[in-house]
Chains A and B, each alone.
Chain A
Amino acid sequence: MSGDLVKALSNLQEREVISIVQERLKNGEEPLSILEDGKIAMEIVGKRFSEGEYFIPDLVFSAEIMKGITDMVKPKLVRPGVTEHVGKFVIGTVAGDIHDIGKNIVAFMLEVNGFEVYDLGIDVPAQKFVEKIKEVKPQVVGLSGFLTLAYDSMKDTVKAIEAAGLRDRLKIIIGGGQVDENVRKYANADAYGEDAVVAVSFAKECVGGK
């Protein structure tokens, strides 16, 4: 039974997922176990993406199906589940830039891989990054930007983190649009990512994972 849900969701079969979840809820099953299966399926989706079998539309659609499951299950949830996280990651699109397709994908992939993700949204001022870092003490910070003007915002954000004395406690990865090694050097970041897969493996390295 549980295998069905994992299989249907990881194969992106939305209608089947919905009917399985409805069935399981009707049978009085523990809502948390449904969410657990969802999580396992999402890990499979993430793995298929990392291996080049799935593409961004598959990720976006799987997240949409998962959201549907959560919406169905939530009203029946008696106690919230407690999840263990492998690390903390603060992410946002830097000041002046409102693009977020790439950033959202990275945030999603990190969550699927067990990170506690703090997504600050778009057009995030350097100071807001600094405040969030002070508050949650992440191991990794991700700065996203699509436009060339983001290069300067990335640089300014890294500087602000430095000025606040927080630079040594964390790693910074940048990504998005035309971000490459040139921009990494310019912004003084620790790494740049061509895609979400790179971001995830870098974050795992930073927290000492596999």
Chain B
Amino acid sequence: MEKSAEELYKERSKRVEDAIRLQVPDRVPVAPFFSFFYAKYAGLTPEEAFYDYEKWRRAIKKTIADFQPDMYLDSRFSVISPGPLLDIADCKQIKWPGHGVSPNHYSFQHIEAEYMKEDEYDAFLFDPSDYVVRTYLPRLYGVLEPLKMLPPLHSMLHGYVVAYQLGAAAKRQIIDAFEALSKANAEYVRWGSEMNSLREELNRMGFPSWSESIAQAPFDIIGDFLRGFRGVVMDMYRRPDKLIEATEKILPMQLQRTVFFAKRTGNPRVYIPLDLGSDGFMSLQQFKTFYWPTAKKLIIGLINEGITPWLHFEANYLSRLEIMTELPKGKTICHFERPADIFRAKEILGDIACLKGGVPNSLLCTGTPDDVKEHCKKLIDVVGKAGGFIMDAGAAIGEAKPENLKAMIDFTKEYGVYS
């Protein structure tokens, strides 16, 4: 007898949860890290993916219905913000289709820059909220430039004279900025409601959602968003103490923020891309000094709040695997991009973390279904041995031959059954 959508939903959830808890599920789960693939597969232009919420929702639904993975991933890791919102806010930190990225390219791209200057650590450390509102946001969004005119936020820490200081926020330019933000927020709400109906539809069809919120290691917040890669590298040599102090300052804020958003979505799995900690980007010593201490505290802090961190080891992490044995058992998902890393991780972390990934995106783009099956067979035989493995591509799936993705999913269902 055909299983009902409700039964399938429970079965799929349990399959994934078993793998995460390092138990042996009925078979290897497969939960692909879909991103712009949705748009390309469903025939949307890149611009439509950013601007036409309804088409984008339908593209995701169609892809999931056609490919039948164990879980779906909604769009928030691909279309980070919908296009109209970026337009209204005049976002300076990314380029997106039609705005710096060719309208034919399925991607958004981050613009490397020093959004925080090298001599601004003290201002940041003194009062991060004030720094963010009056210095960082005006650089990030054109529309928020007038926020520079605000008095220091901490100047409100006083008695009956505060009211007129706060009144400075009522300057015309600032009111205009907030009116623009209000429009941006309306777009966000409209987009969010499409994503909510997507979730309802897919849940009704029996597909649970894989993950809906994101956190980042404090070092990556600084390197990606504040100082840029070059900037943060200079800081490692020129002002190491300030850099470490800033990561420690960010840690509890990132923790609170993540718990807040994760609890709101109700989804326990939180995406944590480990961007700049890779073997290629810094030495093991630098990793231990600057990156790992606060990254680890973030991960443990989230686990203590009942969250399951989905750690994405982007690029090469071979030399860091031993350190990952510090993670508590059965509480994280370690997602590897490189096949070499995931095979070695099985040996080192096999009884500590559920492993995910390992199928090269290049293979999905350029190989044949038989090549994909052969690679997946090796992954299932070795990494999938005795559970604790979820099949997936190494990185977000922007481009892939549909038949290759189909081969990855169908072969896992067929060959990945545990007896």
Contact = CB atoms under 8 A, between A and B. Distances in A.
Interface of A: 12, 14, 54-58, 60-61, 64, 95-101, 147-149, 151-152, 177-180, 182-183, 185-186, 195
A172 B274 CA distance: 31
Contacts of A56: 233, 280-282
A193 to B, nearest CB: 12
B17 interface: no
Nearest to B394: A178
B256 to A, nearest CB: 30
Nearest to A65: B237
A182 B399 contact: no
Listed from nearest, the 5 A-B pairs whose CB atoms lie closest are A186-B366, A182-B362, A55-B283, A148-B399, A57-B233
B109 A97 contact: yes
Nearest to A146: B109
Contact of A148 (B102, B112, B286, B365): B365
Nearest to A183: B362
A183 B109 contact: no
Contacts of B229: 60, 101
Interface string B24-36: 0000000000000
B109 A98 contact: yes
Nearest to A62: B237
Contacts of B394: 178
Contact of A147 (B107, B230, B286): B107
A151 B105 contact: no
Given A148-B361, A149-B399, A179-B362, A61 B109 contact: no
A157 to B, nearest CB: 15
| Chain B residues touching A, majority SS | loop
A186 B365 contact: yes
Contact of B102 (A54, A96, A99): A96
Contacts of A182: 360, 362-363, 365-367
| Chain A residues touching B, majority SS | loop
Contacts of A12: 237
Chain B interface category by residue count? 35 or more
Contacts of B100: 98
A186 to B, nearest CB: 4
B398 interface: yes
B360 A149 contact: no
15 contacts: A12-B237, A54-B283, A55-B286, A57-B282, A57-B283, A60-B233, A61-B233, A100-B112, A149-B106, A149-B399, A178-B360, A178-B361, A178-B362, A182-B363, A186-B365
A178 B281 contact: no
A186 B100 CA distance: 27
Given A55-B286, A149-B398, A180 B360 contact: yes
Interface string B367-405: 100000000000000000000000000110011100000
A186 B366 CA distance: 6
B273 to A, nearest CB: 14
Given A14-B238, A147-B398, A57 B107 contact: no
Nearest to B283: A55
Contacts of A98: 95, 100-101, 109, 111
A101 B109 CA distance: 13
B101 to A, nearest CB: 7
A95 to B, nearest CB: 8
Contacts of A149: 105-107, 398-399
B337 interface: yes
Contacts of B109: 97-99, 147
Nearest to A194: B316
A56 B277 CA distance: 12
Given A14-B238, A195-B280, A178 B337 contact: yes
A151 B365 contact: yes
Contacts of B106: 149
A131 to B, nearest CB: 20
Q: Which of A58, A148, A185 has the most CB of B within 10 A?
A: A148
Interface in B222-279: 229-230, 233-234, 236-238
Given A151-B366, A182-B360, 9 more contacts: A60-B230, A98-B101, A98-B111, A101-B112, A147-B107, A148-B400, A151-B365, A152-B399, A185-B366
Contacts of B282: 55-57
Interface in B51-107: 95, 100-102, 104-107
